[in-house]
Chains A and B, each alone.
Chain A
Amino acid sequence: MTRFAVPGRIAVGGQTASRWQTATLTEIRRETPRAATFRLAVPGWAGHLPGQHLMLRLTAPDGYAAQRHYSIASAPDPSGHIELTLDRVPDGEVSGWFHTVARPGDTVEVRGPLSGFFAWPGDRPALLLGAGSGVVPLMSMVRHHRARGLTVPLRMLVSARSPEQLIYASELGPETTPVFTRSAPPGVPVGRMAAAHVAPLLADRPEGGWEAYVCGSNAFAEHASRLLIAAGQPVDRIRIERFG
């Protein structure tokens, strides 16, 4: 048995994302007190797979630029629009602009989609574990699953501090189990994601097993990947995207 291994490549098509494109902000939706979704029109968007990210750049009048990587929240569709959901990071240079200055009609620059490692083409059963805004690339997978009416199994465990901090709360369905770490609705336990959440999903694994996708802080990623391994998930079928 392999004790540790890096998972294989997922084909994402040959397009290189070397070109910066202008994206126009068309809509801002508040998700939680800390997070909002920003819808962007990108006319030349090459298309993406759920789970991929992009690089986004803001430029000041003196030419100073700041760029960050952000996961794409929307499912792939032909609309020429993509959505990003951003936490407001304290002193965040780029997220701060989005949360305090940005309004529809503003333009930014994007480059992508990037990286195939964390992509889910919809071709294999997917077990998604996220915390905080780590749910963003996983939601692209859930939305894709629904939009295409896919029948391949997909389950999501998502950790949030409280119901108020749970991003996309109104959109989550029976595929999702939320875990609340600080406060929960009456009758729902409070606590960290645990073996009791993960083990039943592994016991009920679909034919061929799960491809696991973990996204969140490094601390969450370490914790969640240990839970998966303890429950019997093969280590070379755990894909991790850590904030940073």
Chain B
Amino acid sequence: MNVTRGFTGRPRVHNPGLPPGQYDAREDWPVLSAEVTPDLSPADWSFRVDGLVEHPHTWDWDAAHALPASAYEGDIHCVTGWSKFGVRFGGVSLDAFLSVARPHGSATHALAYSHTGYTTNLPLADLTGGRAWIVWEYDGAPLPPEHGGPARLVVPHLYFWKSAKWIAGITLLDHDEPGFWERNGYHARGNPWEEQRYSGD
């Protein structure tokens, strides 16, 4: 251990919800997108599931809203160090989209892509079983554009760069294909509990 002279740090709070190396951002919700926030209206938004699926399909705003509503209430964790507790997102479980598209047995991974061209890769297992959502509400109100509105992917058990803003679709693959930050040195999976921040962690 490399102790820093004179450093005491914040008062210790026992918080079993805080992954290693993270701090509680409390009311803050920093915006860290690397690109210009797009001017994207709900009428321009669509979400597609394709690749290794039986029925490639595109949903527009109304069709996506016709699927069964589902909410995530819990915590989110950003690779830059902040975590935010007790957030509420409203939308549709990704399972509802996948049950229409029907992934082939050979599908193992997905590349999620945004209307800006941003991409991020995830194991398919991280997107199924009630662990991923397409959301358009935050705290009961429309998701703000800078936070990914009109709709974003939310995969809260992974670092939040995996939760692509302005989500446009996912392509199912039989292999892992690095996305935007993953090609820039970030970890392929990004599990905050194992502190998988960068390639090699």
Contact = CB atoms under 8 A, between A and B. Distances in A.
Contacts of B38: 3-4
B181 to A, nearest CB: 8
Given A5-B116, A218-B146, A244-B82, A239 B34 contact: yes
B36 A93 contact: no
Contacts, number: 132
Nearest to A101: B6
B2 interface: yes
B32 interface: yes
Given A17-B198, A67-B21, A242 B31 contact: yes
Nearest to B29: A244
B80 interface: yes
Contacts of B2: 20, 22, 59, 107, 109
Interface string A7-43: 1010010001110101000000000000000000000
B9 A4 contact: no
Contact of B30 (A3, A67, A244): A244
A195 to B, nearest CB: 16
Interface residues of B, number: 46
B184 A116 contact: yes
Interface string A61-94: 1111111110000000000000000000000010
Interface in B129-183: 146, 180-181, 183
Given A18-B198, A67-B21, A115 B7 contact: no
B30 A218 contact: yes
Most A CB atoms within 10 A — which of B6, B35, B36, B117?
B36
A4 B36 contact: yes
Contacts of B74: none
Interface string A188-213: 00000000000000000000000000
A235 to B, nearest CB: 5
A69 B199 CA distance: 16
Interface in B1-33: 1-10, 12, 21, 23, 28, 30-33
A101 B21 contact: no
B117 A5 contact: yes
Given A117-B184, A243-B30, 18 more contacts: A4-B38, A6-B118, A9-B183, A9-B184, A20-B2, A58-B7, A62-B12, A66-B10, A93-B23, A97-B6, A102-B6, A106-B6, A115-B181, A115-B184, A225-B36, A225-B37, A238-B36, A240-B36
Interface of A: 3-7, 9, 12, 16-18, 20, 22, 55, 58-69, 93, 97, 101-102, 106-109, 111, 114-118, 218, 221-222, 225, 229, 235-236, 238-244
Interface of B: 1-10, 12, 21, 23, 28, 30-40, 78, 80-82, 114-118, 146, 180-181, 183-186, 197-201
13 contacts: A9-B184, A17-B185, A55-B197, A59-B1, A115-B186, A116-B185, A218-B31, A235-B36, A240-B34, A241-B34, A242-B32, A244-B30, A244-B32
